[in-house]
Every structure is written in structure tokens, then in C-alpha cells.
Amino acid sequence: MLLSLNMVDLSGLDRDLIPAQKMSQKNILKEMAAAIWQKSETCLTRLRCVCRILVRSQGYKRLALDIKGYHLKRDIRAGYPTAWQMTGSGSRAVLLLHCSLAMSSAWRGLLAEMAQSEHQFTMFDLPGHGESLKWDFRGAFHDVSTAVAASFLDQKMDLIGHSFGASVALRLALEHPDLVRSLILIEPVIFSLGFAFEPASKQAFLHDHSEFNRAIAREEFVGAARAFHQLWGSGQSWDRLPDKVQRGMVDKIHLIPAAASHVVEDAYGFCTAGLLEKIEAPVLLLQGSASSAPMPAVISSLQARLPRSLVKTLEGAGHMAPITHAKATAAHIQSFLKKHPV
């Protein structure tokens, strides 16, 4: 049997067909909920419709789902219209910060691997990403992203950041040390730290990004997105990406140079002597064994300067490890958190 999302009124959702007999009832609902969650403000009502259809068509006597976990909320955060959600019923609060060109739903694979954990996860779409307002160029992108992220620190939390999100997480640990229980930085793109630690890595970086920089300078955004994906993507070739994914990256590629002042350059001052050494929270540094330069230098710099840091390498993984190697990434995270209980 094939179960279509269009069996209920989903206002133009893609005709994604799910082979229901091959999936558990929980996973069917998770897939449907995620699709609705990304595109509709009325997802709760529609998700209940899907539940009723499943009950009738499959003969389930009881079907349970934490619907709240898939309800995308929208409000003003640090003056910026922001989309966010919470999932999980545990008592340990965790804040997730996604990478550039993605959205909070990029964590879905990782969260599926951590579904049995005792955590409550909060995640949001960075400015200009997902369902948050498009970037309006008011202020520095890193400053605004950090202010939005800080608005979610309403209690002591563990922070999990990937790529650009990891740079924001590190800044939060410096600015709000009393609210950060631990840090998990996955492939943190604070390139300025790598350049300072290993000067030769800067030339390698500039060489690798020459095609991207030329395309940006010429406002050839398709070419820029293609070049960026080849360096920092999932390993899948650009031409094999769905058109929808390509368009999304092209539409947001201007956010990469918008963040450069705080990741390629050191506008915030991460390189300042004695600054990172002040972070007392335990830190897990996760790197992919196949990641691009200068990531090894960035990780080495952070390891040398963060007093309570631990480095783990994800074998065979590149930059997008939380997506391509979700199981291994989750295992390292869970092991780390167990060693640092509430």
C-alpha cells in the first residue's frame, strides 16, 4: 500500500509517496510530520488528519505521537522573525544550531538516532534560513545570529553546533557562561583560528575557494553555490542534487560572504590571547576524517586553547557529518553527555 500526503488537504505539498508497509507507524508519522512542519502553519490539524487516516487504513487500535515535537513556531527573537521548534520530553535541555544554507530540520537524522535519550531539544532556523525571515543585511550576520540564539538560553543548556552554528555556539559560551553546560562543536568553521595556528592553511583555503570567490564577485550565484557545495557539501555531486535543493542553496549563497567577517576574518576576536581559555565548560570537538582544509588546523587550535576539550574523528565523514554520518555523530554526542551529567 502507498500512503500519499495528498490524501488530506496539504495545500500544495509535494506528492511524496511513502511505502507504508515498509515503515513503522512511528516513522511514517515522523516523515509526514516533518514534511508538513516545514511548509504549513496549520500542521497540527493536518497531522491529526493523517493520524486518523493511518488508524482507519492500517487498522491500528492505538497510534501515539508527540505532535508538539513537530509544531513549528514563529515569533520575534532579538528583533528578528524566527521559526523554531522543540522536541523530546526529557529533562536535559539542548540547543541545536545548524550550518549555513540549511535549516533546523537538518537535525532530523541525528535526532532520530537520539530518540530514546533523556533530552529536550530546541532548534531554530538561522536568519535568512528555512522559515525565518530573509536576511535583511541590518547589522553583522554573526551578531544577529548570536543574538537570536541567545534568546533561547532560558536555562542551563548543552549546545550542539555544526559548522557556522558551531561558531555561534562558541560565542554563546563566551558571552553566557552561566547558561552553557557543555559545548559540542561539529566541524566549527572558525577559519581565522586555523590560520593563526597554522599560517600555511590560509593559502590552501584561499586557493580552494578561488572559484567560489570569483563567482561571488561576478554575482554568478549558481556557480558560487556549485563551488561551495563541492567544498563543503555532503559529497553528492551538484548535478545529482534535486532542483529544489539547488535552488535553496543558490537563494542563500549570499549568506556565506555575509558571515566571512566572523569566520574567515576575526571580527569577533576569537584569536585574542586568553579569550577561549576562559571557557570552563567541557567541549567535544568533532571532525570528519575527510574534511576540507583548514579544518584540522581549526580543531588543533581549539584543542590547544580550550581547557576541557576532547577531540573525536568521524571516520569517512566530511563536513556534513551530522547528515551523512548521523549514527556515528549521535553516538559520540551521547557518550560525551553521559560523562557530563546534569
Q: Are 152 and 76 in contact (CB under 8 A)?
A: no
Residue ranges matching CATH 3.40.50.1820 in the chain: 72-199+258-339
Measured CA to CA, the distance from residue 150 to residue 165 in angstroms comes to 12
Burial tier of 258 (Cβ tally within 10 Å: 0-12, 13-18, 19+)? buried
The second-level CATH assignment, the architecture, of 72-199+258-339 is 3-Layer(aba) Sandwich (3.40)
User: Which regions of the chain are under pLDDT 50?
Assistant: 1-22, 36-46, 48-49, 51-69
Q: Which amino acid is at 63?
A: L
Q: What is the pLDDT of residue 72?
A: 83
The per-residue DSSP string of 184-208 comes to: EEES---HHHHHHH-THHHHHHHHH
Place of cell 586557493: 207
Query: What pLDDT does residue 34 have?
Result: 53
Note the pLDDT of residue 197: 97
pLDDT digits (tens, 9 = 90+) for 110-143: 999 998 788 999 999 999 999 999 999 999 999 9
Q: Which residue has the cell 516533518?
A: 34
Tens of pLDDT along 265-284? 999 999 999 999 999 999 99
pLDDT tens per residue across span 160-196 = 999 999 999 999 999 999 999 999 999 999 999 999 9
Please tell me the distance from the alpha carbon of residue 287 to that of residue 166, in angstroms, as a whole number.
12
